[in-house]
Each structure stands twice: as C-alpha cells, then as structure tokens.
Amino acid sequence: MIADYVYNTDGTASFTGRIDELLERMGASYVFDGAAKLTTGATLADYSSASAGWLEETRKVADQGYEYQSTLYQRSFEAYTRMTGVNLDEELSLMLELERSFQTSSKLISVVDTMFNALIGAIR
C-alpha cells in the first residue's frame, strides 16, 4: 500500500467522494505557466481545449509547409528536366532496351563461338 494514499481507508467498493472531489477540482481555475503561450488562468478543461487547438494549428502549419516544399520540389524538378532535355522514364526505358540487346548479342556470339569450335573440331 502506498504511504501517501489516504483515500478509501475502510476498503469500500466505491470512491464516490474522491471522484466528486476530482470533478470539482477539474472545474476550478488554475494558473498555468505562461511559457506554454496559452491562457495562464483557466480551468483544466479550457486549458486542455486551448492546448489541443494549439496542436491542431501547429499541425496545420507544418502540413502546409510540407505541401509547399513538395510542390516547390516538383516544379523545380520539372523545370530542370525541361531545361536539360532529359526524361528519366525514357532514359530508363532505353537503358533496359540496350541491356536486353546486349544480352541477346552476347548469347548469339556464344552460340557462334560454339559452332566454330565444333566446325574446327570436325575438320581436324
């Protein structure tokens, strides 16, 4: 048992007195630290509401900043692509086509080499 705990000393099943006390204290006005940049004197419910509002506003500002940065990046990338004349999708497609062509040529040379070796072996 916790030493500072003085509620429900008789072991009853409910804590209505304690719950009523906590509810009453939630409605009381408290002084909060001004460093939070929220209201300094308010009830707990008002302070938590202001805090949630502040968090939502901060989230919204961060989201708008992200959207702006993302749009700026996309526009800059498009402008760069237009200026350099390089389309990455086309270049990747061409690179894959060249790789397949190289593989086919390599197999063809290997087959021709095998055929020449067989021909030279048959002549000897």
54-107 pLDDT tens trace: 899 999 999 999 999 999 999 998 888 888 877 788 889 999 999 999 999 999
117 and 59 within one domain: no
Q: What pTM, to 2 d.p., does this model score?
A: 0.45
From CA 60, how far away is CA 96, in angstroms rounded? 43
Number of independent structural domains in the chain:
2
Contact 109, 103 (CB under 8 A): no
77 and 96 within one domain: no
Contact 54, 65 (CB under 8 A): no
97 and 80 within one domain: no
pLDDT in tens, 36-52: 777 778 888 888 888 88
Contact 65, 73 (CB under 8 A): no
What is the extent of the structural domain holding 71?
Answer: 1-86
